[in-house]
Amino acid sequence: MEKAKTRKLNITFESEIDSGASDGTPAKPKNKGGSKGQIWEFIAIATVPLVLVLGNSMLVPILPDMQEKLGISKFQSSLVITLFSVTAGLVIPVSGYLSDRFSRKSIMIPSLIIYGAAGILAGFGAVWNSYTVVIIARAIQGLGAAGTAPIAMALAGDLYKGGTESKALGLTEASNGMGKVLSPIIGSLLALIVWYAAFFAFPIFCAISLAAVIFLLKEPKKQQPAPKLKPYLKTIGGILKKKGRWLITSFFAGSLALFILFGVLFFLSNILEEAPYNIDGVKKGLVLAIPLLGMVITSYTTGALIKKNGTAMRWLINIGLILMTVSLGACILILEKNLYMLIGLLTLSSIGTGLLLPCLNTMITGSVEREQRGMITSIYSSLRFLGVAFGPPLFSWMMDKSHSVVFITVTCLSLVTLGLSFFLIKPKGQIQ
């Protein structure tokens, strides 16, 4: 990178796209903003996190039905979300290395096929009233999920640079959020047919994303030979040693944001069906979608506007965590007193998440060169998955104690993360 850039930043953002070729000739312009080809690339990339999030969020509204039909506990139903996410979280780093070793698409394509096929198996498990088959199928889906959205994030970093990269990453986060908005509604609508219909819907969405990845995305050629494992891991260790203070803090912040998001969804899905609310079916799906809509709009807007402005990212990260802390803390005071205020405060918290995640995505993806990007983004995505995994069961456990305990805990966690982010995540300057 140019010295001028280095002087302006504590965190260095790098790109594999050079200003010119090694022989001194100018580089060919790539992916000009607004081009038709770029729009289709954006759409193809966006389908991957959309499909991924449907794998969890679409099941949230039917968890109470699953408890009744399969004769399982609230904790057992939460494991349908948790096991999927834990398996994905553990396998994602392996997928990240393989995508760096070979190519992004060579990992994404078979992963989408596995993801969709396991959805069919889970559906048959539900038809057979076999909780064991459903759980096994969800673990297999987690294996497939490990090679989807995290690799798509790395591919976006490969394809674009500068403001276009942050816009593409903002779109992936918005697509992730839009999936969360639509999935409770879609899940509730499908449940009108039969409660397990959502499982059989996965292959359809996977097939659409698979076609988009195969035909619309052209992966750039590798500039360097594939890395061998030992020097590769040494390089990753060096990156974490050099940039670990802010990278690990960013990993934790992203993981916490999704832990809270999925935990709150699980919380709402259960209390809405109880007195005094007695809201279920499609109406419940619409209520669950309200906070998520705030997040998706904020995510896309943030990704489109931040470009590579490190100072703006720092402000938005801190503002987002402040919104989360204040709104979740306020929920303690009005819990079960006013549903409209509760939904409003949770929407405000989701807006804070929408400010936070696109900034983290851009910083993390741009912090390393292409050859290590798959692993770094995979470590980040792995921890995000683990946040999703532990949200429902821990919220279930806290709900059995007290609903106030739920919001006291997440408020304290948000406050701690705000302090860590304020002191350790300090990007500065305008990235040219």
State the residue for tokens 């429902």. Answer: 392
Per-residue pLDDT band for 227 (boundaries 50, 70, 90) equals low
Topology of the domain covering 36-215+227-424: Growth Hormone; Chain: A; (1.20.1250)
Percent residues over pLDDT 90 in the chain: 23
Listed residue (320, 314, 271) closest to 294, CA to CA: 320
Asked whether 371 and 227 are in contact (CB, 8 A), the reply is yes
pLDDT at position 157 = 74
Q: Is the pLDDT of residue 30 over 50?
A: no
Per-residue pLDDT band for 5 (boundaries 50, 70, 90) equals very low
pLDDT at position 8 = 41
Asked whether 148 and 51 are in contact (CB, 8 A), the reply is yes
Q: How do residues 345-357 score in pLDDT, each as one tens digit?
A: 999 999 999 999 9
pLDDT at position 20 = 41
Q: How do residues 358-417 score in pLDDT, each as one tens digit?
A: 889 888 877 777 667 767 877 887 888 788 778 878 888 898 888 889 999 999 999 999
> Angle at the Cα of 378 (from 377 to 382), degrees rounded to 5?
120
Q: Is the pLDDT of residue 311 over 50?
A: yes
Measured in Å, how far apart are the chain's first and last C-alpha atoms? 11
CA-to-CA dists, residue 298 to 184, 237, 350, angstroms:
19, 34, 9
Per-residue pLDDT band for 31 (boundaries 50, 70, 90) equals very low
Most confident of 221-230, 294-303, 345-354: 345-354
Q: Is the pLDDT of residue 9 over 70?
A: no
Per-residue pLDDT band for 297 (boundaries 50, 70, 90) equals confident
φ, ψ (nearest 5 deg) of residue 192: -65, -25
Q: How do residues 316-340 score in pLDDT, each as one tens digit?
A: 999 999 999 999 999 988 876 788 8
- Measured distance CA(41)–CA(213) in Å, rounded: 9
Which range has the worst mean pLDDT, 254-263, 303-312, 362-371? 362-371
Q: Report the half-sphere exposure of 333 (CA within 13 A, side-chain side).
A: 7
Q: How do residues 118-167 score in pLDDT, each as one tens digit?
A: 999 999 999 999 999 999 999 999 898 888 877 877 787 778 776 677 77
Domain ranges of the chain: 36-215+227-424
Q: Name which residue leads in pLDDT, 9 or 93.
A: 93
State the residue for tokens 């995290």. Answer: 150
- Measured distance CA(27)–CA(50) in Å, rounded: 33
Q: How many CB atoms lie within 10 A of CB 412?
A: 13
Sequence-separated contacts (24+) of 404-410 with Cβ below 8 Å = 404/332, 404/335, 406/263, 406/267, 407/328, 407/329, 407/331, 407/332, 407/335, 408/332, 410/260, 410/263, 410/264, 410/328
- Measured distance CA(367)–CA(358) in Å, rounded: 14
Q: Is the pLDDT of residue 15 over 70?
A: no
Contacts of 28 by beta carbon, 8 Å cutoff, 6+ apart? none
Per-residue pLDDT band for 183 (boundaries 50, 70, 90) equals confident
